[in-house]
Amino acid sequence: MPLHWTVDSKERLVIAIAEGAVTRAEVENYLTVMNGAGTLSYRKLFDCSRSDTAMTAEDMLAIGVQIRARHAVVGTLGPLAIVVPPDKSELISRVLGILAAAERPMRVFFDTEPARRWIESQPK
């Protein structure tokens, strides 16, 4: 599976790393697990810098709709740092827009290290 994550409950931090070709089913599974684990208020680093996908714009929009539905039922959302390859930013722009609509700190990066420093500087 090209999507791996680590949940550190003590640090209230989720680090997800996408490598290779990520599918819609893998992202949906990640969202389901994170929801079930009660991590929506945790700080999150989602690193897609080494990933690719065959997902369509419609797939991305469907994922965005699922994310938005979760936002509607959660109180506080944790800070989010997303690392995207520059050549994929247009494909995920709708999802980024949906994520940005939530009331929480969020930044998009093109490099992992600045993203890691920023998310670690956010309050637990």
Has residue 86 got a pLDDT over 90? Answer: no
Has residue 93 got a pLDDT over 70? Answer: no
Q: What are the residue ranges spanned by the domains of the chain?
A: 3-121
In this prediction the pTM is 0.85
Over residues 11-49, the pLDDT tens digits come to: 999 999 999 888 999 999 999 999 889 898 999 999 998
The highest-level CATH class for domain 3-121 is alpha beta
Percent of the chain with pLDDT over 70: 88
Q: Residue 82 phi/psi, 5° resolution? A: -120, 130
List strands edge to edge, sheet with 80-83. Answer: 3-8, 13-22, 43-53, 80-83, 106-109
- Tell me what pLDDT residue 2 has: 87
